[in-house]
Amino acid sequence: MTDSIKIDPEFKSYIPPLTDEEFAQLEANIVEEGCRDPLVVWGNTLIDGHNRYDICKRNGLDFATVQKEFADREAALDWMDAHQLGRRNLTPDQRRLLLGRRYNRVKRSKEQNLVQNSPNPQSEVSGGNTAERLAKEHGVSRATVERAAKFADEVDQNPEYKAAVETGKSVASVKREQEPAGSYAPQSKPEPEPEDPAEAKLRKQYRALTDAAREDAYVGLSLDLQDARAKHKEQAAEIKALKDQVKGFDGDQAETIRRQAQTIRHKESEMFRANEKADKALARARHLERELADIKRVGIAV
């Protein structure tokens, strides 16, 4: 079977590489216990198990395969991305890239189908259902999926960003390196003095708060706030329409009025929760701004 397996360069490039230590550990396990998990192939083309295949081939070990059928290459690539998202050793950027690629791939497919079959494709293309489906599948928010899609577009169009993600390096660090010399240099300071505990705490917070995390937080809070305000406005309009409808009822429709009143109270409760969500999102955004202001105040080198 080894000789008949084909390695597709594009498929292989979609597999996040293991670190040297991870590969060495995997090889040691396979040499000791054998290749326990079968390789996944589509026809003769290897879809999943590239590292195991290399290890078995190099050490002359047997392995099993399992056939999987796909409608086309795009379907195979989507299965690969979905399968890789189940790994626990992915970096945040690798996870965002895989998730974003899944969204973009489905969206492109929909757009192509609409262009071919619809007289007015632009009015029908919507990524909302796709984003919600992927968000539910991977346990994230719709906004996270949409941000991941933008990130994947950026990475796939920039070879340097793509290489960084493949090696486990963050795109944010690459962007910092591309800034003109001195852009992130700290202000000139006198001889260092013993570090204040409060400043040390802020420095520790900053290290955890990377550029990517700040950007992700701001965009996410903005989208949450926008969604909450839109829902609040929609529910206010529904409540007004219900109240107007109740005014037109006569005394013989008391039961209908009672049910409408219950619906109004329910809608008012939903509106209150939406408004509360908006307030919390705004409070989180303001808290993050204060935290960044404190970090900037103590002159932390970025």
Highest mean pLDDT among 34-38, 264-268, 296-300: 34-38
Task: Look at residue 125 in the predicted model and tell me its pLDDT.
Answer: 45
Separation of alpha carbons 218 and 223, rounded Å:
9
DSSP state of 18: P
pLDDT at site 54: 94
Q: Please, which pLDDT band fits residue 167 given cuts at 50, 70 and 90?
A: confident
What CA–CA distance (Å, rounded) separates 17 from 100?
A: 18
For the chain, the C-alpha Rg in angstroms (whole number) is: 27
Model confidence pTM above 0.85: no
- Tell me, what's the pLDDT at 259? 76
What is the model's pLDDT at position 124?
A: 42
27 has pLDDT over 90: yes
**Quick one: pLDDT at residue 22?**
87
The vertex-100 CA angle with 96 and 102, nearest 5°, equals 125
The percent helix, strand, coil of the chain (3-state, each to 5) is 70, 5, 25
Predicted local confidence at residue 270, as pLDDT: 75
Angle subtended at Cα 153 by Cα 151 and Cα 155, rounded to the nearest 5 degrees:
70
Work out the percent of the chain whose per-residue pLDDT is above 70: 68
Q: Taking the alpha carbons of 41, 45, 47, 51 in that order, is the dihedral positive or negative?
A: positive
- Looking at domain 1-72, its CATH class is alpha beta
* pLDDT in the model for residue 45: 95
The pLDDT of 202-211, averaged and rounded, is 61
